[in-house]
Amino acid sequence: MSDHDYRPKSKVGQWFNDRLPLLTLANHLTDYPTPKNLNYWWTFGGILTFCLITQIVTGLTLAMHYIAHADMAFESVEHIMRDVNYGWLIRYIHANGASMFFLAVYIHIFRSLFYGSYKAPREIIWIIGIIIYLLMMAAAFMGYVLPWGQMSFWGATVITNLFSAIPLVGEGIVTWLWGGYSVDNPTLTRFFTLHYLIPFLILGLVVLHIWALHVPGNNNPVGIDIKKPSKDTVPFHPYIVIKDGFALLMFMIVFAFFVFYAPNILGHADNYIEANPMVTPAHIVPEWYLLPFYAILRSVPDKLLGVVAMLSAILILAVLPWLDTSKIRSAVFRPLYKQFYWILVADVLILGYVGAMPAEGLYLLIARVATAYYFLHFLVILPVLGFKEKTLPVPLSITEPVLGGSPNLAAARNKESKIE
């Protein structure tokens, strides 16, 4: 933070700011020097903040009408849909908002993977991000249980049962999680409590995430360190604010389409059947955003190892800054990594697809190959690539590729030959 010398103009402002430097903070946020070559993949941070706030506001409103009781939850959701003023709107925003949140977070994560934003000095931002992502999954899973439909109940049964794979104490842990000997009312009430709590934990972590970001400043598509402030940067306000706002509006159009015209397309029809412990649905599938991990879980024949594989698939991301040995951040200058990156994207999409399919025959085979490749990418390809790959020359500042039209090779080469 380079703006400690900021002083408010008014006397009152100075008096207040000397006691609580909120105005200094506001000044820092508006002046915050941001690389001017950020592309639209960088707008998803702002979009995610919007998603979180939307979920919290709609969630609070829903909680005023929802009843967390096994006998009344389903009915109270119907009450919200029918009798609460605009209850249908609030619930559909909240339900589809979860999907939009994950859509945005996946783009945000894959942007970071492409441009190497997780590398030094941004490891802490990245790790906080992974914790936020884990909490998001927990919140989404527990939120899906609350309407107490068939998929809620059986999804909760399948996922909580995973803990029984832990040797010796597994069964005890499951009973403890359930608050009884099956998923029932105590499970519902504790899930509701935690579902209410987690968004505020996420909010706190988001503050840390942004704080940690503001220490080194944003990475950028070229992936080089820049001087701040300089002619490579623009102040956050108004440049980035308006650009983020524009992207957010585009995102909201997609969001609105789902809410108003296809509000149930992302959910499962079975969740409109009230939970019934005596009837198991034909296929138990999680929400789309958890499918890749569900595929990894099911691709391992052993229950305990399956759970270990699924958890490792997420936790491996936390050590990514040390698995990726390349000194170059942006994939723009890493021709080989760029190809492996797109293979990884395809691999995760394939995992998502087979996660929705029954775990048998060809689907199972594909899931196993895709799971193996997922780990291969992080554990073998990335570490080796850092040593073997011949990277392209990197420009010395942002201004050149920007003036050259795009962060391309020609501009970089030009500069290099001049130096020589």
Partner 1 sequence: MKNLFKLFSIIILIITSNSNSFAAEKVEYLKTDWSFKGLFGKFDRASLQRGYQVYTEVCASCHSMKYLSYRNLAEPGGPEFSEAQAKAIAASFEVTDGPNSDGEMFTRPGKLSDKFVMPYDNVKAAQAANGGAYPPDMSVLVKARGGGVDYIYSLLQGYEEAPSNVSLDDGVYYNKYMYGNKIRMAAPLSDGLVEYGDGTNATVEQMSKDVTTFLMWSAEPHLESRHQMGFKAIVYLIILTVLVYFSMKRIWSRVESEV
Q: Footprint of partner 1 on this chain (CB under 8 A)? A: 36-37, 39-41, 75, 78-79, 81-82, 88-89, 92, 99, 103, 107, 234, 238-239, 242-243, 245-247, 249-250, 252-254, 256-257, 259-261, 263-266, 268-270, 272-273, 282-283, 285, 288, 291, 349, 352-353, 356-358, 399, 402-403
Compute the least distance from the CB of residue 258 to partner 1, in Å: 8
Q: What are phi and psi of 375, to 5 degrees?
A: -75, -35
Compute the least distance from the CB of residue 253 to partner 1, in Å: 5
Compute the least distance from the CB of residue 272 to partner 1, in Å: 4
Which CB sits closer to partner 1, 292 or 321? 292
Residue spans of alpha helices (H) in 2-122: 11-19, 22-31, 44-63, 73-82, 87-115
For residues 357 and 363, is the Cβ–Cβ distance under 8 A? Answer: yes
CA distance 93 to 100: 10
Which CB sits closer to partner 1, 92 or 178? 92
Compute the least distance from the CB of residue 363 to partner 1, in Å: 11
Q: Taking Cα atoms as reference points, which of 309, 338, 318 lies closest to residue 326?
A: 338
- Which two structure tokens, joined as six digits, stand for 200? 């505020």
Task: Tell me how far CA of residue 326 lies from CA of 179, 257, 299, 330, 381, in angstroms.
Answer: 48, 41, 31, 10, 11
For residues 378 and 324, is the Cβ–Cβ distance under 8 A? Answer: no
Compute the least distance from the CB of residue 190 to partner 1, in Å: 27
Q: How many helices (H) and strands (E) does the chain have?
A: 18, 2
Compute the least distance from the CB of residue 217 to partner 1, in Å: 17
Compute the least distance from the CB of residue 399 to partner 1, in Å: 8
Q: Taking Cα atoms as reference points, which of 113, 355, 99, 120 lies closest to residue 251?
A: 99
Which CB sits closer to partner 1, 39 or 193? 39
Residue 359 in 3-state DSSP? Answer: coil
Which CB sits closer to partner 1, 77 or 381? 77
Which CB sits closer to partner 1, 140 or 307? 140
Residue 274 in 3-state DSSP? Answer: strand
CA distance 98 to 101: 5
Compute the least distance from the CB of residue 245 to partner 1, in Å: 6
Compute the least distance from the CB of residue 292 to partner 1, in Å: 11
Which CB sits closer to partner 1, 75 or 302? 75
Which CB sits closer to partner 1, 335 or 358? 358
Q: What are phi and psi of 149, to 5 degrees?
A: -90, -175
Which CB sits closer to partner 1, 41 or 375? 41
* Residue 227 per-residue DSSP state: -
For residues 394 and 223, is the Cβ–Cβ distance under 8 A? Answer: yes
Which CB sits closer to partner 1, 163 or 294? 294
For residues 411 and 395, is the Cβ–Cβ distance under 8 A? Answer: yes
